[in-house]
């Protein structure tokens, strides 16, 4: 299976083999980042990202097939991210996959990028359904029950911004550079007083599994602007405070979701919580979630760090899983800017509304 990914600012391609027992062998993979192109703007610029994807995606696809020793006619299928994401970027991988599938006479599998993250731990270890998923990245923060390929039930989602955006915008305010998540984490390691800044406890009275990070972003910006002549120590202390607030919020909500998961699957002997997405690479977040898993009697699982961020191996895996179930797509499969994992829940109870808040869902 060839997998292609271009939903945000990483262009990626991978070839893997799925054995009859479900074991996965990643034969070749490559990722081309765009950090240098976006750094001057403090965030991802969609037009720049789309052009970079279009320039790189075909050569990456060729390179991984050469490295894997696979001719296009030997592919059992071609999988590509078809959404959600920046639409210009999504189109790059999807259109390339359509051309390759047509030319090679192979099936096309249009993959939900979020499902790629949801299945990503299965790249390196055996993971049986059902399990609880916390998907936490720059554009998404949500809790899902994963009962199978394409079978997901939403327990909670962000009502405004994603956790990764809170990291990125805080880094931008403090001049820490892009990408913001790793920059905040690095700065936090040198904090002398992590409890110095009193930041809000998000949704303190809310009993759902939803998340909110917009208020934290605002509070962090105001705290920074209140410092007359901020220095590196101020940056470190505020970075540590923001990171701690995000980790605590993610932990509390995931712990609540674990209890709901246990109520739904009372007969399960072993329960697993999976943490995936770019923010899952943050060590403070990992520690908070691991502690919650221990507290509630869950096995804690996260993919290797290179599979937490956007990659094509997870897209190839989702494609292979769907192909094994006979789920393939036509060459008219659309590119989608928005594509919820639990479409029924998204229609019945959208996590956020229209306008500025709409795309966050």
CATH number of the CATH domain containing 227: 3.30.420.40
- Full residue range of the structural domain in which residue 318 is found: 2-124+306-339
- Same domain for 211 and 137: yes
Task: Report the percent of the chain where pLDDT is more than 70.
Answer: 97
- Same domain for 159 and 68: no
Q: 360 lies in a domain?
A: no
- Same domain for 325 and 235: no
Mean pLDDT, range 50-62, rounded to an integer: 94
Q: 296 lies in a domain?
A: yes
Count of CA atoms in the C-beta half-sphere (13 A) of 80: 32
pLDDT digits (tens, 9 = 90+) for 319-348: 999 999 999 999 999 999 989 888 877 777
- Same domain for 151 and 78: no
> From the CB of residue 59, how many other CB atoms can be counted at a distance below 10 Å?
13
- 153 and 129 Cβ atoms separated by less than 8 Å: no
Confidence class for position 30, pLDDT limits 50, 70, 90: very high
pLDDT of residue 348: 76
- 209 and 132 Cβ atoms separated by less than 8 Å: no
- 302 and 286 Cβ atoms separated by less than 8 Å: yes
- Same domain for 166 and 275: yes
pLDDT of residue 121: 93
- Same domain for 119 and 224: no
> From the CB of residue 306, how many other CB atoms can be counted at a distance below 10 Å?
12
Q: 347 lies in a domain?
A: no
pLDDT of residue 41: 81
Q: 115 lies in a domain?
A: yes
User: What is this structure's pTM?
Assistant: 0.90
pLDDT of residue 133: 97
- Same domain for 64 and 144: no
């Amino acid at each position: 299976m060839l997998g292609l990914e271009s939903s945000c600012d990483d262009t990626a391609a991978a070839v893997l083999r799925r054995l009859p027992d479900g074991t996965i062998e990643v034969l070749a993979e490559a990722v081309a980042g765009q950090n240098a192109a976006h750094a001057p703007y403090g965030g991802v610029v969609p037009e720049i990202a789309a052009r970079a994807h279009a320039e790189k995606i075909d050569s990456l696809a060729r390179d991984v097939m050469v490295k894997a020793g696979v001719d296009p006619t030997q592919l059992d299928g071609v999988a590509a991210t078809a959404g959600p994401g920046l639409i210009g970027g999504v189109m790059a991988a999807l259109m390339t996959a359509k051309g390759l599938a047509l030319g090679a006479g192979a099936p096309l599998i249009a993959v939900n990028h979020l499902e790629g993250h949801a299945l990503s731990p299965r790249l390196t270890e055996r993971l049986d359904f059902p399990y609880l998923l916390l998907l936490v990245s720059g554009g998404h923060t949500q809790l899902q029950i994963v009962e199978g390929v394409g079978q997901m039930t939403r327990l909670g989602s962000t009502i405004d911004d994603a956790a990764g955006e809170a990291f990125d915008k805080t880094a931008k305010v403090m001049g820490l550079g892009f990408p913001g998540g790793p920059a905040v984490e690095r700065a936090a390691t040198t904090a002398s007083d992590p409890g110095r800044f009193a930041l809000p406890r998000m949704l303190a009275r809310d009993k759902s599994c939803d998340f909110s990070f917009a208020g934290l972003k605002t509070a962090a910006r105001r705290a920074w602007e209140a410092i007359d002549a901020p220095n590196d120590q101020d940056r470190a202390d505020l970075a540590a405070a923001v990171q701690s607030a995000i980790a605590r919020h993610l932990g509390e909500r995931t712990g609540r979701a674990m209890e709901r998961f246990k109520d739904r699957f009372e007969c399960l002997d072993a329960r697993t919580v999976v943490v995936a997405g770019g923010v899952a690479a943050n060590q403070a977040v990992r520690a908070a979630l691991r502690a919650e898993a221990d507290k509630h009697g869950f096995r804690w699982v996260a993919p290797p760090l290179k599979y937490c961020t956007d990659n094509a191996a997870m897209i190839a895996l989702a494609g292979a899983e769907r192909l094994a179930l006979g789920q393939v797509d036509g060459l008219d499969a659309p590119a989608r800017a928005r594509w919820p994992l639990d479409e029924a829940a998204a229609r019945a109870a959208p996590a956020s509304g229209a306008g500025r808040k709409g795309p966050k869902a």
